[in-house]
Structure 1
Amino acid sequence: MMKGRGTETPSGPPRTVRCRVRGGTGAVMAHRACQPLLPTGNKYLQQKWDAAAYDVHRGKVKSARPTINTTPPKTFTHLTVKLKNLKLEEERATKMRGENDMLAEKIAHIARTGGGVDNRNYYDRKSLGEKKRQLELLRITQENQRILFRLSQCRSHYNPRSWRESWLQTLKVMDSIAHYPRDRTSQQKGQGNPVEKVSAGATADSPARPEADCKAEGEKRRGKEPA
């Protein structure tokens, strides 16, 4: 038996081979029985074993993993579906719906009532310190009233009557010690006797000084006899 000629694979069909024979060369059909590569005692069992080994080999080839990982990376749900953005969009849509409802209600109210300008403020002005200011103003008013009452009930400690008498006495002393009479200078200036003016404004308790006495006193100071 020649090795390498007229053989077939365990799972393949028989093939036609060319072999050299005596008397010429021609095509010869190989035998359909299994032709194992190695010597064996039973060709049929060896064929089954070879077929099983070939199937295992093909399975390993199909399931072989590459040395370099070229598969796409894993996709995570929280990266593709962003729940935060969805929540914000939902809140914004809810706010817009509320504003639209309010606007529609206002438009309906205007359509029912005919419209108008609502520019009145129906509220009372309130202040945190209003009560305190009122109490302070009341206290100041009461104090002013008490001061006014004390001033109205107060009596003066000075006596204008004694002042007037003291001033008349001073005028007399001034006339008695003067070198020249006081009425002379006043007459030259076209004015009256200041003593007479003061005496004219005096009361009944301080009678006016007679003009004749003033003249006599002046002539006496000049060294003349009265006329």
Structure 2
Amino acid sequence: MHKVPQLTIPWANRDLQRAWEKTYQDHRKKVQNAQPLVDTHPPQTYSHLHLKFKKLKMEEERLSIIDRNNYLLLQRVASAMKTKGQTDGQNNFTERSLNRKQREQAFMKVQKQNQVVPERLRSSEPWYGAQRRREDWAAMARHPCKRRHTWRKGAENDARQGHSLMWMRSLKQKG
């Protein structure tokens, strides 16, 4: 062991020297008993990082859907095995067959209406007269200040009543 430093002044207090000696010896023991401070252990693992509950729940739901579909398929196969390939006579399309008459009646009604439309078009009178329109165009070209719109049916009556502007035309509903 190392020697304890000696006091340079011989008349100094011996108690003071003992206290220094004791602290020095304690320091040396601590230095000898010191352990390395570098932590070489792996980091601590946390369970919530490795055990993902949301993923487990999603997987459980997926498996329950698969189990349910497998059960339904098993029931269908079992019912097919019981009937031995014969039909059971059930008609799941009764709703469609009940509406068949209504659909046929609606179809016949639409066909009749479609036959009436061309007849109405042939029997209706034209609203605009092409010849009158050409005459008005020629008259307007000759006299641009005078505006007369007689190419529409009833325009003569409108002109007599003072309505000679095109946007004030009176539309008649044909029935």
Q: Scaled by the length of structure 2, what TM-score is found?
A: 0.36
Larger RCO (CA under 8 A, 6+ residues apart): 2
Higher helix share: 2
| Larger CA Rg, structure 1 vs 2 | 1
Specify which structure has the higher proportion of strand: 1
